[in-house]
Every structure is written in C-alpha cells, then in structure tokens.
Chain A
Amino acid sequence: MPVTIPDKAQILDWLQAVKDPEIPTISLIDLGVVRGVEVDEATGKVSVHLTPTFAGCPAMDYMKRDVERMLLAHGVPAVEVDISMREAWTSDMLTEAGRQALRQHKLSPPPVLGNQVLDLDFLEYAECPNCHGNNTELRTPFGATLCRAVHYCHDCRQLFEQFKPV
C-alpha cells in the first residue's frame, strides 16, 4: 500500500493543536514560535524550526517534545525539531488569532510594534484584558514568566498580566 506523505499545509494544521505549555489557549503557530516546516518528499521526514519568545524560556524543551509527539502520533515517520535564533522572535510574530487567544486567557496582547523603536512608551502601554481600556499603568516588567509583565487598570482597579512587547 503506498504511503501518503502529508504536505506542509497538513503539518501546519496538525501543529495548530500544539498549545503553549503555559498558555493553553494559544497554539505554537499563533504564538509565532514555529518559524518553518519542511517535508522531505522522499522519506516523509518532517523538520520543524522553533525559536524562543525569550532566550531563557524554560518551556522550549516542552514545546519541542510536544511538536514531536503530535507529529509522530499522526504517523509522520521521523521528526526533527531544532531551536535557533536565525529568525529571532518578536511580539509582532503573534497572529491575530494568537492575540485573541491571549485575551481569552485574560492576558493583554502586546501592542503591534511595526517599524517603530521599542521604547519606554511601548513597554509601558497595555490594554486591560477585562474592560479593553487603556487607563493602565506598568507595575513591574517582570511577572510569573519571562514573557509577562504586570500592569494595573485604574478603571477596573485590578492587576492584570500582559504578554510583553519585545
């Protein structure tokens, strides 16, 4: 029986089901950490290129393992996952669906940087994930994980977490 080798679109579709180990609403694809997928058409081997959101992110090994498990479970004969900074992650790599997924988890998505310089205004700005207002203040740039900052909403009178712009 001929073996069908899945195409790249199929692989990406399967990878949509691999979520961030610490933010279960967002896929690694929408987080922007999957920088490339290649399928070897002769052998069916799949190579996946990942990049960390923050260089010291302790979740990278888990992400790598989850990608391997997911693809092997779909019958991919061999999987190779590498982690590099050839194409370094910036918060602009979050997709629109990813920003929505962060809001679902009550995390404020980072503002889109575009061509602007990452200056203090950017680091200090956040939209409240509860009321969507911006009457907010940066309380501390370091939160529960390296990728989160803690802000305060003056309207809701609540602390909230933001996925940091970087």
Chain B
Amino acid sequence: MPLTSQDPRIDLMYRLADDQLILGHRNSEWNGLGPILEEDIAFSSMAQDKLGHSLQMYSMLHALGEAEPDTVAFTRNAPQFHCCQLVELPIGEYDFSLTRHFLFDHAELLRFEALASSSYEPLAQVARKLRGELKYHALHANTWMKRLGTATEEAIERMQHSLNFTLPYALGIFEKTDAEPEIISSGLFVGEDELKSRWLESITKVLAQTALEMPEVTTLTPVFGGRHGQHTEFLQPLLDEMAEVFRLDPTADW
C-alpha cells in the first residue's frame, strides 16, 4: 500500500490508527509490571481501548478499499507505518510512560472532539463514541500527573526530567503531511496547527496545578519523520513481536 495516499481521508486515518495500535501495544507491555495493581489494570485497559479504536479506524480504511484490518496491522514493516515516533518509544520507567500518556491522550481527546464534527460522517460517528472513552484516559493521566507532580522532591524531579525529554517527541504528533491543506479545506479535520494550540492550552492548565515547569515550547525542535515513515530503531522489533503469531499462521485464532 502506498505511504502517501491521494485520498485525504486515508492519509488522516492511517495516522490515527497507527498511533493507536502502536501505543496500545506499548501500554499492554505494562501488563504484570505496573508499579501498583491499579496502574497495571489502567495501562492494560487503555491498551484494550486503543486497540479497539485502531480496529475502528482500520475497518473504515478497509471500507475505502484498503486491506483487511489484520493484514494492515500485522504485515507492514516500519517504513510503511504512519505513527509519530512518540508512541513507538519503549515504555521505559513509569514516569516516562505516564508523561507520554498525558501528552498523547490530551491531544487524542481534543482530536476526537474535533473529529466529531468531521465532514466525513462515518469518521464523525466513530469520533462521537471514542471521545467519551478518551475522557477517562485524560482523567487518569491528569490524576497521576497532579499526584506525582506535587509529591516528593524525587518524584517532581523525575517527572520534570520526563516532561523535558518527552515534549519534543510529543510535538511530533502534529507533523503534517502533503494532504493537510485538503484535510482542512474539505472539513475533514481542523488541522494539526489548530489541534496543537488547543493541546498546549489543555496541558498547560493541568501542569499549572503541579510543581512542574512547562518548558518554552517554541525553543524545542519537534521530532518529526514518523508521519512520513521515518521511525526509531524501536518500531521494527515491536512490529516483529506483535505479528509473530500472525506471521507463523495467518489463520490462527488467539
């Protein structure tokens, strides 16, 4: 399948679906490893939500002529993926995973709130559903950012370090493709710039309730490339692991 598509709907939905699939897989890696039981369950639940969301997107892509969801999810290699690099980074320590979850899911919630009035009705219908579910993701992230961002000196220092490290990757969420002008003019989506400004406002409000300092975003260099198939060394091993069963036996049930 082509990396760049003529149809702006396909271009947009691949980016959404791949973000959800890859972050869903990363979240699932906390299963059995969470720092407390509730967090183990939370990250596993969000993994399940994200896989469900990506299945909705891949199903809509299939309706537009793309391959079956399983084929699309399990048979592409890293250069064919449209996810931002933020979602593919290893889970690292809990402070990083939490910070990534906070930065990503605020953007995701705002994105689907905007998509609820997309000119492409099938996408708008799904968005109206997913935005409700995403509120729980944002609520969860806010709770823990506030809790750890106002806790001990060590907690605050680690969260600040994670925030500084993760922000340039998070800015990569808003990397545009050639389809951007048409995506906006056709009313498909408000566009990445608008989303970014809503996102900055939203995360700044939460961070203001913590001891964490929001770095000056204009001085940061966004980590771009993911939307155009340029990925970190961490994506391909993830794909190999995710697709291991499918590649052994594409007809297997599991």
Q: B-contacting residues of A (Cβ < 8 Å)? A: 52, 54-58, 85-86, 88-90, 118, 120, 123, 139-144, 146, 149-150, 164, 166
Q: Which of B38-46, B66-74, B83-91, B191-199 forms contacts with chain A?
A: B38-46
A58 — which chain B residues lie within 8 A by C-beta?
Answer: 48
User: Given A85, A86, A142, which contacts B42 in the complex, CB threshold below 8 Å?
Assistant: A142
Bound form: Cα–Cα A146–B135 in Å: 13
B139 contacts A120, C-beta separation under 8 Å: yes
Count residues on chain B whose CB falls below 8 Å from chain A CBs: 25
User: Given A85, A89, A141, A166, which contacts B140 in the complex, CB threshold below 8 Å?
Assistant: A141
Bound form: Cα–Cα A75–B132 in Å: 39
Given A55-B56, A57-B52, is A85 in contact with B129 using a C-beta cutoff of 8 Å? Answer: yes
Given contacts A85-B126, A89-B129, A146-B48, 15 further A-B pairs with CB under 8 A are A54-B52, A55-B52, A55-B53, A55-B56, A56-B55, A86-B125, A90-B132, A120-B139, A140-B38, A141-B140, A142-B46, A144-B41, A146-B49, A149-B136, A166-B136
A85 — which chain B residues lie within 8 A by C-beta?
Answer: 56, 125-126, 129
* Most B C-beta atoms less than 10 A away, residue of A88, A139, A164: A88
Bound form: Cα–Cα A141–B41 in Å: 10
B10 interfacial contact with A, CB 8 Å? no
User: Given A55, A88, A118, A143, which contacts B135 in the complex, CB threshold below 8 Å?
Assistant: A118
Minimum CB–CB distance for B144 against chain A, Å: 10
Minimum CB–CB distance for B124 against chain A, Å: 10
Question: Interface of chain A, helix or strand or loop or mixed?
Answer: loop
B125 contacts A143, C-beta separation under 8 Å: no
B171 interfacial contact with A, CB 8 Å? no
Bound form: Cα–Cα A155–B153 in Å: 34
User: Given A56, A118, A141, A166, which contacts B51 in the complex, CB threshold below 8 Å?
Assistant: A56
Minimum CB–CB distance for B16 against chain A, Å: 13
Minimum CB–CB distance for A165 against chain B, Å: 9
A141 — which chain B residues lie within 8 A by C-beta?
Answer: 42, 136, 139-140
Minimum CB–CB distance for B110 against chain A, Å: 15
* Most A C-beta atoms less than 10 A away, residue of B46, B52, B132: B132
What are 27 of the A-B contact pairs (CB < 8 Å)? A55-B52, A55-B55, A55-B56, A55-B129, A55-B130, A55-B133, A56-B51, A56-B53, A57-B52, A85-B126, A85-B129, A89-B129, A90-B132, A139-B38, A140-B38, A140-B41, A141-B136, A142-B38, A142-B41, A142-B42, A142-B44, A143-B41, A144-B41, A146-B49, A150-B38, A166-B132, A166-B136
Bound form: Cα–Cα A123–B136 in Å: 8
Bound form: Cα–Cα A140–B132 in Å: 16
A139 — which chain B residues lie within 8 A by C-beta?
Answer: 38
B45 contacts A146, C-beta separation under 8 Å: yes
B133 contacts A88, C-beta separation under 8 Å: no
B44 — which chain A residues lie within 8 A by C-beta?
Answer: 142
User: Given B53, B126, B135, B140, which contacts A142 in the complex, CB threshold below 8 Å?
Assistant: B140
Q: Write the B25-68 contact mask toward A (1 if CB under 8 angstroms, else 0).
A: 00000000000001001101110111111011000000000000
A52 — which chain B residues lie within 8 A by C-beta?
Answer: 52
- Name the residue on A nearest B51 (C-beta): A56
- Name the residue on A nearest B46 (C-beta): A142
